Homo-oligomer: A and B are copies of this chain.
């Protein structure tokens, strides 16, 4: 898993070009959906834009769009949901970075939202992005099988107190404590896997996928999401800051619960490998065009930084 694999040479699919194209499309759509920076109150809208356009990888939107294409849909159908997912992801980062939470001054090399705009505006910019996510999501087209009600429920549950927000609370409560593997899994499932799973499901739903496609996307998303986080934990202890492009060993330093800290490096690698296997097995008999999803999965789970 920690071996560097050149996805592009292994596959006929040009992942680099695909990701580049989708990222540009997502950025354009987000720019259209976010209120102009000169909308009153200007500080708020500037803060929202500052954090949304802060060099994010657009992982959730890309997975969402790729899922729609895998099911025979087109990217335009899934774009409002892709943007909604990015708004939720961005809001969660703004609030996570606050002094009362992880107290981070930098993210991706830039000062965090509250460092630039102050705590009050950062809290409110997060609130506004969370609200905007539902405004954008409601603008998707609905189907008989997946109507607006289903789509809003899907998004709200993944972002809510039992999933994303719940994971963040559990993570904060675990800091500095020795927790069991089951508790760590509880956190990772909620903080990372839930929104990633929903990214894939919403892409499928936007393309009016069938039930077996939705099941496959769910299993793929959940296992990719969980594996992604376990690998993140492993890289934090095995790689240098230079390789990661961020401070290595930070989890350990602040007493964050991670897989290597709790089950050791060897067992962490076994867990990541098992989840990766499950993820790809989920797409084995997928009826559709799962090439992009498979390439994305390979890229995410075989990365070494």
Contact = CB atoms under 8 A, between A and B. Distances in A.
Q: How many copies does the complex hold?
A: 2
For chain A, which range describes its interface: under 10, 10 to 19, 20 to 34, or 35 or more residues? Answer: 35 or more
A41 interface: yes
Contacts of A43: 169, 173
Nearest to A47: B169
Contacts of A123: 95, 98, 100-101, 123
A135 B118 CA distance: 30
A44 B135 contact: no
Nearest to A91: B127
A124 interface: yes
A160 B123 CA distance: 13
Residue picked from A123, A138, A155, A168, most chain B C-beta under 10 Å:
A138
A172 interface: yes
B132 A120 contact: no
Interface string A119-149: 1110110111011101101110010000111
| Interface SS of chain A | helix
A166 interface: yes
Given A132-B160, A156-B131, A168 B124 contact: yes
Given A120-B172, A139-B149, 9 more contacts: A35-B162, A40-B170, A128-B160, A130-B131, A131-B156, A134-B152, A134-B156, A139-B153, A148-B152
Interface of A: 35, 39-41, 43-45, 48, 91, 95, 98, 100-101, 118-121, 123-124, 126-128, 130-132, 134-135, 137-139, 142, 147-149, 152-153, 155-157, 159-162, 165-166, 168-170, 172-173, 186
